[in-house]
């Protein structure tokens, strides 16, 4: 495994080649980010593309197959152990329709099919489903195959699925659309299946998941999409892709393509009609976009919030298409003063790390590692093969020299933070080492088109701050709803003389900062360390603490941005339970404080 991008002793002579591209600098990564290792864990019996993934409370993995016939399979909990390829694979349910979403709630398995939300039950306890209970199906579903339903996110009350519209060649939508078809987000109340259209204007969804206590979703480049998109679906919002006739949430100003295939005329006008995305993630090929820098990925999977490691508090988005040069992408987001999110996309890891396939699902496992489920894509596009991937991503303990974050701090300033201090030899003024470009994504019915008004910017200044890990960048005249591309020349070095893992950042600017600062997430203790043990069950999270001499302690459950959800105070050695309904959906952190010591551990629901 490639651990870091070290400068060889003789590399000083290479600096003159700084204009040459290399992985992470105007080229896609070709290796695994040094912060992680990737292990093949696919049992041989698992020989089909993975549609959805989740976990039972006893550590078994639940996966849905993306292959005729569509089914639900259960992998024994050896999948998280030392010999994961020995995990048994048992068919639990079959006869479903494109089951691209699965969510386990209190050990009950909910499956989102293209046409239905289904609760799959084993009433007689023989290990096979014997009941397929229809929870919800109140959405129009024609015979068109691209009417995807992707999920499932669950916020404790509602399930959320995200839906594509029926498209034909080159991303053009069918006209007229099937009556009542909603290309957007639909949510379903778990208690009674109440179905509520939630938001509109999406195209081909990539994934939807809980992060930072909210539902996040991704969208795919194509018709009315220059870039991929990461966003928080909100009630009643419209996200830009009009169809004919207009479905719910599509405003009149968003002309359908049969009336005007180019309804958006400026960044500001577009933002007044369609809710801006939090982060536009550049498509890996820039030709359809009309030029500008190369991008990162071909199709996004579900977003995952990281709770540990050097990128804690950020998100990873897997590459869901088998694009040889595509990347699992990292995203930093910050909350703007108006309560929305915006942020930047970065290089992260070559897609080739995952068995030569694409990763549609990325999920935390009960052991705190990430699990990447392959979707069987055999080539760029939509072919499917059976030799798919299932891989485990572990933190290595290494921290690459990288752009950690880009923050907007005002109408003319960004703050760029690196994972390590910059080399002293760079001095304090690195203005000449930064290239900046901006454009806005003028979406239209033309596939993947186009970046509008691509403009090279003058960097007024880029000044290294006292701790040498941050640089304040001044660019006069920043404009809202544009995308800012920042590239550091490949002369930037850390204080250990490392080159950058990735030199580029793509920042979506929707509101001027400074942002609302998140609470820092503390580093995780490895399972088995610290004066406590945890056991997960359907009842909740049972914690056994053993502080000596009756020492007082405080236990907290926090989200990945550090917000305390619930807490428990006690003394000495004892057990207590955080009930299931007290745990936040998605990833959370258990913190234990006693005296001056703090311990923390990742969990998920």
Partner 1 sequence: MRKGMKAMLMVALAGGAATAQVARPNALWFNKVITPERSRQLYVGLNQNMWILYDLPQCVIYQAWMGAAAGGSLVMASVTVSPGYWFGGGPHFPHMYVTSGTNFFKDQVGEYFATYTVPSQITTYYTRWPAQPLNYHAWTVRNASGLDVGAVIRFRGYTVPGNVFTLRFGLVLPGNGGEITVTESPEYSNAGGRNNLVRTLTFAGIPAGYQVRLEHLGGAAGNWVVTSGSATLLTGAMVQTANGQTILTGSW
Interface residues with partner 1 (CB under 8 A) are 67-69, 94-98, 113-116, 118-119, 123-124, 129-134, 137-146, 166-170, 172, 174, 176-182, 197, 245, 248, 382-384
Rounded to an integer, what distance in angstroms lies between the CA atom of residue 52 and that of residue 90? 16
Pick the closer one to partner 1 by CB: 122 or 495. 122
Rounded to an integer, what distance in angstroms lies between the CA atom of residue 188 and that of residue 131? 20
To partner 1, the closest distance from the beta carbon of 167 in angstroms equals 7
Distance of CA 131 to the CA centre of its chain: 33
Pick the closer one to partner 1 by CB: 124 or 456. 124
Rounded to an integer, what distance in angstroms lies between the CA atom of residue 103 and that of residue 107? 9
To partner 1, the closest distance from the beta carbon of 163 in angstroms equals 11
How many CB atoms sit inside 10 A of residue 552's CB?
A: 12
Positive or negative CA dihedral for 348, 352, 353, 359? Answer: positive
To partner 1, the closest distance from the beta carbon of 323 in angstroms equals 16
To partner 1, the closest distance from the beta carbon of 69 in angstroms equals 5
Pick the closer one to partner 1 by CB: 69 or 236. 69
Pick the closer one to partner 1 by CB: 99 or 152. 99
Pick the closer one to partner 1 by CB: 70 or 364. 70
To partner 1, the closest distance from the beta carbon of 322 in angstroms equals 13
Q: Structure tokens of 138?
A: 């109140």
201, 274 in Cβ contact below 8 A? yes
How many CB atoms sit inside 10 A of residue 213's CB?
A: 16
Pick the closer one to partner 1 by CB: 130 or 429. 130
To partner 1, the closest distance from the beta carbon of 281 in angstroms equals 22
Rounded to an integer, what distance in angstroms lies between the CA atom of residue 423 and that of residue 15? 15
To partner 1, the closest distance from the beta carbon of 28 in angstroms equals 24
Question: At CA 414, angle to CA 438 and CA 560, rounded to 5?
Answer: 110
DSSP conformation class of 137: -
Name the strand (E) or helix (H) holding 238.
none
Pick the closer one to partner 1 by CB: 27 or 258. 258
Q: What share of the chain is helix, strand, coil (3-state, %, to 5)?
A: 5, 45, 50
To partner 1, the closest distance from the beta carbon of 139 in angstroms equals 5
Task: Give DSSP secondary structure letters for 57-113.
Answer: TTS-EEEEESSSSEEEEEE-GGGGSS-GGG--EEEEEEEES---EEEEETTEEEEE-
Rounded to an integer, what distance in angstroms lies between the CA atom of residue 73 and that of residue 11? 51
Q: How many residues does the chain have?
A: 605
- Strands 26-27 and 22-23, by their bridges, are parallel
Rounded to an integer, what distance in angstroms lies between the CA atom of residue 150 and that of residue 157? 18
To partner 1, the closest distance from the beta carbon of 438 in angstroms equals 33
To partner 1, the closest distance from the beta carbon of 62 in angstroms equals 19
DSSP conformation class of 326: -
Closest CA to 179 of 137, 138, 236, 140: 140
Pick the closer one to partner 1 by CB: 377 or 594. 377
Pick the closer one to partner 1 by CB: 141 or 284. 141
369 half-sphere exposure, CB direction, 13 A CA radius: 23
């Amino acid at each position: 495994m490639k651990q870091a991008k070290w400068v060889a002793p003789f590399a000083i002579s290479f600096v003159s080649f700084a204009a040459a591209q290399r992985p992470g600098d105007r080229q896609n990564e070709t290796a695994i980010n040094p912060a992680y290792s990737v292990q093949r864990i696919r049992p041989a019996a698992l020989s089909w593309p993975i549609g959805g993934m989740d976990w039972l409370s006893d550590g078994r993995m639940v996966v849905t197959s993306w292959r005729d016939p569509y089914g639900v399979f259960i992998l024994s909990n050896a999948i998280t152990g030392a010999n994961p390829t020995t995990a048994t694979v048992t068919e639990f349910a079959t006869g479903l329709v494109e089951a691209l979403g699965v969510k386990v709630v209190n050990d009950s398995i909910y499956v989102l099919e293209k046409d239905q939300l289904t609760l799959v039950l084993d009433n007689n306890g023989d290990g096979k489903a014997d009941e397929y209970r229809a929870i919800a199906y109140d959405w129009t579903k024609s015979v068109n195959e691209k009417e995807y339903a992707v999920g499932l996110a669950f916020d404790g009350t509602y399930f959320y699925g995200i839906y594509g519209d029926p498209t034909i060649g080159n991303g053009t939508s069918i006209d007229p659309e099937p009556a009542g078809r909603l290309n957007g987000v639909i949510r379903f109340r778990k208690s009674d299946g109440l179905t509520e259209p939630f938001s509109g204007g999406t195209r081909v969804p990539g994934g939807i998941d809980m992060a930072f206590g909210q539902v996040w979703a991704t969208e795919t480049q194509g018709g009315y999409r220059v870039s991929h998109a990461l966003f928080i679906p909100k009630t009643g919002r419209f996200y830009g892709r009009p169809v004919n006739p207009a479905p719910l949430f599509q405003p009149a100003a968003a002309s359908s393509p049969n009336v005007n295939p180019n309804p958006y005329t400026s960044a500001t006008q577009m933002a007044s009609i369609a809710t801006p995305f939090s982060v536009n993630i550049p498509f890996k090929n820039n030709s359809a976009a009309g030029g500008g820098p190369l991008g990162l990925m071909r199709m996004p999977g579900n977003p995952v919030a990281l709770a540990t490691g050097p990128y804690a508090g950020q998100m990873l988005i897997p590459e869901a298409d088998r694009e040889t040069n595509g990347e699992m992408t990292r995203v930093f987001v910050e909350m703007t003063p108006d309560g929305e999110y915006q942020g930047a996309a970065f290089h992260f890891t070559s897609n080739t790390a995952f068995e030569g396939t694409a990763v549609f699902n990325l999920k935390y496992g009960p052991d705190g590692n990430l699990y990447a489920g392959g979707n069987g894509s055999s080539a760029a596009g939509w072919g499917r093969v059976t030799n798919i991937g299932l891989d485990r991503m572990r933190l290595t303990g290494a921290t690459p020299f990288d752009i950690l974050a880009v923050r907007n701090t005002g109408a003319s300033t960004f703050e760029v933070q690196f994972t390590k201090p910059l080399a002293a030899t760079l001095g304090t003024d690195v203005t000449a080492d930064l290239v900046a470009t901006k454009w806005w994504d003028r979406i239209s019915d033309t596939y993947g088109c186009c970046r509008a008004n691509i403009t090279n910017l003058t960097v007024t200044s880029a000044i290294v701050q006292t701790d040498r890990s941050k640089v304040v960048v001044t660019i006069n005249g920043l404009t809202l709803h544009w995308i800012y591309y920042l590239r550091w020349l490949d002369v930037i070095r850390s204080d250990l003389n490392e080159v950058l893992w990735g030199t580029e950042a793509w920042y979506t600017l929707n509101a001027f900062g400074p942002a609302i600062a998140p609470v820092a997430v503390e580093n995780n203790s490895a399972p088995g360390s610290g004066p406590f043990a945890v056991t997960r069950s359907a009842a909740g999270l049972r914690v056994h603490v053993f502080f000596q001499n009756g020492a007082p302690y405080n236990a907290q459950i926090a989200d990945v941005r550090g917000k305390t959800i619930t807490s428990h105070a006690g003394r000495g050695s004892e057990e207590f339970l955080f009930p299931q309904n007290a745990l936040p959906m998605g990833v959370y952190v258990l913190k234990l404080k006693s005296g001056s010591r703090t311990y923390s551990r990742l969990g998920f629901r």
